[in-house]
Structure 1
Amino acid sequence: MQAKKQLMRYSRLKKENENRAETLARMKAAAQFAPSGEPDGSQHTSGDGQRMARAVENYLEYEEQLRPLMEKNRTEMLRIEQAVAQLPDPLEREVLRLRYLDGDAWRLPKWRDVAMKIYGSDERKYLDAVLKIHQTALLQMERT
């Protein structure tokens, strides 16, 4: 089922972009707050200034390498979001959003959690309803 594979891929793309953005943020902070090498009267080498320059250079190189990958991920994520948004039934959209788009990137929410958010209960009848809506939504995505 291609639709389900796409939806599963969304969370992986999201997590990859989040991890890369966090790495970039750490590198940027390291470049901004590297020791400035201002003279304090002691006999230090000028290595601190070089360390800062290397940190900035590493950040810029890594950012340049990642930009195309992150943009490609964002484009694919947007395509998946648009496929979900095109579903005619708002309940189908909501089930897919809760299950695949809004959750933690590594673990999908349990079906009981999705049922609780939609129906306010995780009774078996609501769990079954959510699973049926999910199946219908996947079939609808396959058709479009």
Structure 2
Amino acid sequence: MTRDEAKTRLERYTGLRLEVRIRLERLATLQQMDRERPSPCGSRSEEYAREIAPIVQANRREMAEIEAAVAALPDPLEREVLRLRYLEFSKDPRTGKKSVRHITWKEIGRIVYGDGGKSGQKSAQRHLERAISYLATIWPESGQ
């Protein structure tokens, strides 16, 4: 797998996680509606659960593979930088709500090195580049 393919696979993680969360929240809403107002035509939530089951299962499988690869990185700093950049949701500084955007390099530098300046950002980026190169060597070519 190339470095670009490895990076693309990592970038999919937050989208997969978001899709699972949204679909499961919708399922919970439908289940609540079914309890409050049963439909004579059948359960809306059961139909939706059958529809989303393969999607949620596939997303969770892909997420688990990505998480396992990150956990297998031998360097703890590389693991942490990669986890922060690709596996964590950032938070909106004004509202505190989670966002699907990547955590900024400034924030990663501050968390990992205590320095959100250029030096911390560059160090974090170097660790990330090494981590992605490593993942590209361990992931199979058909890794998606």
Q: CA deviation at 1:56?
A: 5.7
Larger radius of gyration: 1
Specify the alignment match of 2:121 in structure 1: 127
Residue among 42, 53, 76 paired with 1:67: 53
Tell me, in whole angstroms, the C-alpha distance in 1 between the residues paired with 2:132 and 2:35. Answer: 47
Alpha carbons of structure 1 residues 120 and 55: separation in structure 2 relative to 1, 3 Å: farther
Deviation at 1:53, TM superposition (A): 2.7
Query: % of aligned pairs identical?
Result: 34
Runs of 4+ that moved beyond 2 A: 53-56
Aligned to 1:93: 79
Report the count of equivalent residues: 127
| Paired AA for residue 121 in structure 1 | D
Give, as a single letter, the amino acid of the residue that structure 1 aligns with 2:108. Answer: V
Stretches of structure 2 that go unaligned for 5 or more consecutive residues are 91-98, 139-144
Against the structure 1 CA distance between its residues 125 and 66, is the aligned structure 2 distance closer, same or farther, given a 3 Å change threshold? Answer: same
RMSD, aligned CA: 1.4
What is the correspondence of 1:26-41 to structure 2 with a 5 Å cutoff? 26-34=29-37
TM-score by length of 1: 0.83
Q: Deviations over 1:104-124 (max 9, x none)?
A: 462111111111111122021
